[in-house]
Chains A and B, each alone.
Chain A
């Protein structure tokens, strides 16, 4: 059976992508990553997705679309729950179904292991589903998974140095790591000689420990990570300001931003700004706001 797996470089790829891609590589399965988001992918996704969808979901569909011509299988895991105390956004639980029904694919064309608990049984089940879908036998599959998991765990964020000032940019990884969404912000900060720190530069464990303050109020895992990061950065003396990025139509963000603003930002003395991005990519409005924010940060540092 000819197998060519495609992984959309969007949504949870930015959290777990290296694990997934390494697994297929170690198992000697041809795998393609859809590549960076661009205007074409966004436009295609906007067309395919329903109007009310959040921006990342639309972009995800654009990525899937760009893979369909060359790949036989698309890897869309159903990530429901990963940690006992947390859930993922409802859209991740329905993602394989959304992809399948939008593109009218047959169930065989989609590899969608269920990730529901962090137990080893569930890991093996998901692994088995994946192997079945691509006709890979269990033993090499398991070995490939072990190897991929090991290198994923070894990938701890390095120290980013201590030159000042630093600006923390927080938000979902699928926005921060996607240059199409946050490139403008990052470039602007770089041009002013500012060092940018994101939640991905901090060990995951530190962030989730920080987030324990908010349990059980925040039950989405990625939101807990963001709230944890906000809590962490607000207490670091070398952070000069915080930029919070979220996307229009994001369900969890709509409430968590309010919560974080109320419980974390307003109680600290750090300057902060919350930026909402959508599919209208005009950069002037964005840059103006970041410039104004930067002026404030500089002014704060002087006086």
Chain B
């Protein structure tokens, strides 16, 4: 059993730790490249959403490198995600690949069951340790990333925080137990605290809402955190992998309460769950408007069903809470220049608005 899984941001680091800890060999799909996209596009249905195509490209490239077991996620609808695995399996079989596919449903009981199935000669305690290490890696990376996003627009020597981040990722990836991981995490945090900041800057604050895959995968979203940071913008992403895990899998109380609060905020605009993150996109826009953010970037894969509902509603929200919203739909054609131009124009608009408020 040689395991592989789709890429989504830095998720591969955690999953690698998990499956290695379970005593399995792991083949990571090569980093998402032009070839990944081309393979995905070639064999996917034409108008399906982007994550489907990229996942499929990941699978093909990993199978080429010798993986024989694909671990991927399921779902329950009404969004298309829950239907991915079934179709992808059919397509890969048609292409002549021989493999097993393990579909993990997004609930904690199923995850434990599937982990047990995958584990190789490991007792319950060892499974637990592997699971805990993987989660701790996710939490560490997300926490550092948040901090880097705050520092990037303020640092005196450009690129310092990113340098720390890149070094830390390698250490986290290599960490084999919790104590090495924690040491690396604390070291990174204290190094980031030591980064010299410009004192007089008050950067624009932009909230990023929308669909989790494009938000987290830098090769698809043109590395938007980094780009915005270097344009002098403090980026606040409303979703990280750890948020999803703590909210949807462990159903932690603080997250459930927050979700309830957000659903109430969205209710005047969108009165029902529409799958995916549709409601959260609306709610966070309202919330950040009230908290005086300068602008919102709403990003989603082209033809994404829940986010199309949200995008239809966002103009009204934007108007009501008086916050500019830039919607970006990502597909396999998203060129760098198109995105950069739109970001620059949006930032100009936000700067102008701030100036106007300042003068008024």
Contact = CB atoms under 8 A, between A and B. Distances in A.
Interface residues of A, number: 41
Interface stretch (B22-30, B42-50, B126-134, B229-237): B42-50
Contacts of A255: 45, 48, 52, 80, 83-84, 87
Interface stretch (A13-21, A243-251, A285-293): A243-251
B308 A52 contact: yes
A88 B194 CA distance: 53
Nearest to B303: A249
Interface in A240-268: 248-255, 257-259, 262-263
Given A53-B308, A101-B269, A90 B276 contact: yes
B79 A53 contact: no
B308 A93 contact: no
Contact of A259 (B87, B274, B278, B317): B87
Nearest to B273: A93
Contacts of B308: 50, 52-54, 57, 91
A248 B302 CA distance: 12
Interface string B244-280: 0000000000000000000000000111111110100
Contacts of B80: 251-252, 254-255
Contact of B47 (A49, A50, A254): A254
Contacts of A218: 83
Contact of B272 (A49, A114, A250, A257): A114
A241 to B, nearest CB: 22
A258 B311 CA distance: 27
A262 B274 contact: no
A90 B311 contact: no
Contacts of A51: 329
Interface size of B as a range: 35 or more
B349 to A, nearest CB: 20
A220 interface: yes
Interface string B62-83: 0000000000000011111011
A259 B90 CA distance: 8
B335 interface: no
Contact of A97 (B83, B90, B271, B327): B271
A231 interface: no
A98 B309 contact: yes
A174 interface: no
A219 interface: yes
Q: Which of A93, A96, A102 has the most CB of B within 10 A?
A: A93
B316 interface: yes
B77 A254 contact: no
Interface of A: 49-54, 57, 78, 80, 87-91, 93-94, 96-98, 101-102, 104, 114, 217-220, 248-255, 257-259, 262-263, 276
7 contacts: A52-B303, A52-B311, A90-B274, A90-B309, A93-B272, A97-B309, A101-B315
Given A89-B78, A249-B303, 19 more contacts: A52-B311, A52-B329, A88-B78, A90-B79, A90-B275, A91-B309, A93-B275, A94-B309, A96-B271, A98-B309, A98-B312, A101-B269, A101-B316, A219-B78, A254-B303, A255-B84, A258-B87, A259-B87, A262-B90
